[in-house]
Amino acid sequence: MVVTLTGNSTTTAEEYKIQIVEGSGVRSYQYATTTNTLTAANIATQLQAAISDAQVNATVLGNQITLTSINDGYVFGVRLIANSGSNMSLSSSTPVKGIYSIVGTPTTVVTETTTYDIGVHTPGTLCVSGTSTVTLTLDPAHSISLTSTDSTQNQTICDNSALTPITFDIGGGAGNYVISWDPAGGPAGMSVNGSIVGKRN
**Domain parsing of the chain, residue ranges:** 2-90, 142-201
For the stretch 124-153, pLDDT in tens is 555 666 788 889 999 888 888 888 999 998
C-alpha 97: how far from chain center: 18
User: For the whole prediction, is pTM greater than 0.85?
Assistant: no
What is the structure's pLDDT at 85?
A: 47
* Closest to 14 in 3D by CA, of 92, 91, 93, 84: 84
What is the structure's pLDDT at 81?
A: 77
- Strands of the 25-32 sheet, one edge to the other: 25-32, 15-22, 77-82
How far apart (Å, rounded) are the C-alpha atoms in residues 167 and 174? 16
**Residue 72 binned pLDDT confidence (cut-offs 50, 70, 90):** confident
* pLDDT over threshold 70, residue 109: yes
Query: Angle at CA 50, nearest 5°, toward 48 and 56?
Result: 65
Q: 169 exposed, middle or buried (CB, 10 Å; 0-12, 13-18, 19+)? A: exposed
pLDDT higher at 103 or 167: 167
* pLDDT over threshold 50, residue 37: yes
